[in-house]
Chains A and B, each alone.
Chain A
Amino acid sequence: MMDARQRYLEYFDRLERDNENIKAYRTIAREEALKALEENESPFPVVFSDQISTRGIRTTANSRMLENYIPPFDATLVDKVKKAGGVMLGKTMAREFGVGETENAYGSCAAVAHGENILGFASDYDGSIHMGAREYGLFACTPSYGSVSRYGIIPVASSMDRVAILAKRFEQIPAALDMVAGRDERDGSTFSCDGDLSELEAPDLRDVTFALVDGLEGSEAAEDLFKKLGRPQDKLRLESLPYALPAHEILSSGEFATNMERYDGIGFGYRAGEYGNVEELYKKSRTEGLGREVQAKIIFGNFCLSEGKYEAYYVQAMKARTMVKEELEKRLETYEFLLAPADKRLAAALYLAGLPIISMPFGKTSLLIAGSAFNDKRLLAFGGEILSRLEREI
């Protein structure tokens, strides 16, 4: 029988050959992984997207700006995963600072898909990770906003940022969420969750109310799956959906613009080589250190926050956010869960509202399920039941 060390060594050899093609990793942490392996009794492999701070291992947010940044601390979720026995294989690719140019926007999906039982943790602010999961045939879960600490996650938009869990098998997800969820003193938006998630009680589908969200991209394929669940009549449309993307874009850009102000070439991060004065130091460092798309989002965000525009854009977008959130919450009073295809607008809406999401791949399509805030445990139990029902049917 091959020992664990041998298996990891062989995996790293394979990974180093394949990474150029799969474009999964920014940094492969072979030495650190082998060391962690020795320190753990029941180790399991994990990856973190490169926007999640890891002590002693460079965390670039996929940007030249943080090319050489080595955090002096672990993100709370990294700390929790490590303590549970997680062996970090490396840091995965994503968009620059979550929004910009990249070789692979879904590096964490690629990394999880490449192995057999790798758990992936990726930060996400708009639900696009569920599109990535669909592309790579993975299960994905975004827990309620506030159930997993954001401390140490390099933010795009603080009020929307969440960590998503990625896995090849659905059973991996509840245990992973259990590992990272909970109140964190260092993140005031966190709450403690409702106990042990690893022991889920499967609900009887006849007792659960759920509906399909209609009128989305991919609704037809989702409807085919939905029909198999025996309740074809429960369908609804979300009136506020047209506002979701614009509101999401304005608010996330505003938050992004101010979150990015710390990258000024002074304290840390990329600094331009030559500058005449401090004003020029700021301009050159940011122009050279940040990609075009990142710059565009910063400029748009600052535009929306600037004097005279704030009321017209930002305040309106905050109102739209409330509207979207209230409609979703109202629908979730009637139906405990909403099913849908992995649609961009719906994902943006769910991220504006901070609601928990799971998505499951079925061939080229994927089924997304959302529930009420902090109802994560029921959502996972329900998801598991839907999955086994559909697997039987297909």
Chain B
Amino acid sequence: MAKNYETVMGLEVHVELKTNTKIFCNCSTAFGGKPNEHTCPVCLGLPGTIPVLNEKALDRAVTAGLATNCQITRVGRQDRKNYFYPDLAKGFQTSQGDGPICYGGYLDIETTEGKKRIRINRIHIEEDAGKLVHEEGLGSLVDNNRAGVPLVEIVSEADLRSAEEVLAYLHKLRAILTYTGVSDARMNEGSFRCDVNLSIRERGAESFGTRVEMKNLNSFRSIQRAIEFETARQIKVVEEGGELFQETRGFSQDSGRTYSMRTKEDAADYRLMPEPDLMPIVITEEKIRELRDSLPELPDARKDRYIEKYGLGNYDAEQLISSIELATFFEETVKAGADPKAAANLIMTDLFRLTGAEDFQVDMAPADFAKVIEYVDTGRINLGSARKVLEIMFENPDRSPEAIVVEEDLEQINDRALLSPVIDEVLARSVKAVREYQAGKEKALQAIIGQVMGKTRGKANPQLTIDLLKEKIG
């Protein structure tokens, strides 16, 4: 009988800061571009060049800390982290060792067992590296467009116990970062990257198990799968009497498995030392006050407002605040006159199906979306037709709901006189189903309703259909 294990996790999240220029030079941080288009002597590390800290990047890092309840240092230091890798032009990454910008914060997540507080150990600034491109016939080439893009690394304490908690933490963190304009936090563009430190221990144990660091997790789905696989792997090793090693593991999306990248023995000694080219970072009270005052309404405050003002449930509210785009779309829809609950429902069912909850992006106008809700409310269309309208609007945001309903002939049939003959026709052909229903088999009715919907191309008013059916065969 397997013992009762628990998974213990801490996260290191790397986030690209939203600045126009790089952390130590004036090159653009724009995503994409021709290889090495956004480079200069400084980010290429040419001899004699000197980094100068981009104040905007520092502001963003402080904002990230303020929004996650961190302490902010008054004097910070930057350090050189030395290692050889072809994508690292200077042979060291400028990062922070003992003097991070922010430390000792937390954020709250919603879990199935209620609210949970996850502590944040530290947030420090550092620079991104370049990228290796492997070209057939040319070998490996270096693209330094990303070299010197400002990052913060947000390190949590080992407070997370399940994949569910990890995802809730990441969603909350991403929401905070996008609300505050700290980052675009796009996983698909690499501006939000997560390493998971994972160990297992017997439930109730005080000490931690041997920790494995998992890298290359480039989607929420991968993170979840990697956690599940790695937990099972570690339990199996321990159960079989084996030994776990401190190591770095990657995750293969194809096989769904984690694999060893390097063990502790091959780990580099980074020889951290104070960066002598950069002056100490001095953060004044005034600066902190200024940044604190300019914080927008944060996700948790917004969630509370949705619950109180709109009467939404905790879960729904948590979903809606998960990105600033989504929350804004929801609020604009309500502002256009839609019922908040109906709007929330339709967003979370039909819009999430179209755009995905993780990267909510729609071009349709919130006012048009509100119109669709109104049509459903007034019985002009049913929910099935509403889905069709939204699909069309999603592809063609310029087409109005009015035009779509008329041109696509989606108006609901609410007239008994029109619907009655259709139902008679269906009943005449469904003798067996009718008999079953009358014998007490409720399911049979669903089949008959389905036929009515088919006959009317989904336009029949569902409630009216049920009423008529019950009158005729009930």
Q: Is the CB of A258 within 8 A of B82?
A: yes
Interface residues of B, count at CB 8 A: 29
Complexed CA–CA distance, A38 and B45 (Å) = 34
Q: Is the CB of A72 within 8 A of B41?
A: yes
Q: Is the CB of A258 within 8 A of B91?
A: yes
Q: Would A73 and B89 be within 8 Å (CB), given that A305-B271, A305-B273 are in contact?
A: no
Query: How many residue pairs at the A-B interface have CB separations less than 8 Å?
Result: 100
Binds B, one of A105-113, A181-189, A206-214: A181-189
Neighbouring A residues of B114 by C-beta, 8 Å: none
Complexed CA–CA distance, A260 and B91 (Å) = 8
Does chain B have a CB within 8 A of A3? no
Across the interface, A267 reaches (CB within 8 A) one of B45, B273, B278, namely: B45
Across the interface, B89 reaches (CB within 8 A) one of A72, A185, A267, namely: A267
Complexed CA–CA distance, A288 and B82 (Å) = 21
Does chain A have a CB within 8 A of B225? no
Neighbouring B residues of A254 by C-beta, 8 Å: 273
Binds B, one of A27-35, A127-135, A155-163, A367-375: A155-163
Neighbouring A residues of B272 by C-beta, 8 Å: 305, 310
Complexed CA–CA distance, A119 and B331 (Å) = 70
Neighbouring A residues of B52 by C-beta, 8 Å: 185-188
Q: Is the CB of B277 within 8 A of A189?
A: yes
Q: Would A258 and B48 be within 8 Å (CB), given that A158-B276, A264-B91 are in contact?
A: no
Q: Is the CB of A258 within 8 A of B92?
A: yes
Complexed CA–CA distance, A264 and B82 (Å) = 13
Name the residue of chain B whose CB is nearest to the CB of A286: B84
Does chain B have a CB within 8 A of A223? no
Complexed CA–CA distance, A371 and B278 (Å) = 25
In residues 30-72 of chain B, which contact A (Cβ within 8 Å)?
41-42, 44-53
Neighbouring B residues of A257 by C-beta, 8 Å: 82, 271
Q: Is the CB of B47 within 8 A of A71?
A: yes
Q: Would A307 and B90 be within 8 Å (CB), given that A71-B48, A158-B276, A189-B277 are in contact?
A: no
Binds B, one of A6-14, A79-87, A145-153, A195-203: A145-153
Of B45, B47, B271, the most chain A CB neighbours within 10 A belong to B47
In residues 291-305 of chain B, which contact A (Cβ within 8 Å)?
none
Neighbouring B residues of A267 by C-beta, 8 Å: 44-45, 89, 142
Complexed CA–CA distance, A361 and B428 (Å) = 120
Neighbouring B residues of A61 by C-beta, 8 Å: 47
Q: Is the CB of B269 within 8 A of A188?
A: no
Complexed CA–CA distance, A268 and B41 (Å) = 12
Across the interface, A261 reaches (CB within 8 A) one of B82, B142, B277, B278, namely: B82
Query: Sorted from nearest, which 6 A-B pairs have the closest CB atoms?
Result: A261-B91, A159-B276, A305-B271, A158-B276, A154-B47, A152-B48
Not counting A257-B82, A307-B269, a sample of 18 additional A-B residue pairs whose C-beta atoms are within 8 angstroms of each other reads A69-B47, A72-B46, A154-B47, A155-B47, A155-B277, A157-B276, A158-B277, A186-B42, A186-B50, A186-B52, A188-B52, A258-B82, A261-B84, A261-B90, A267-B142, A268-B46, A310-B271, A314-B273
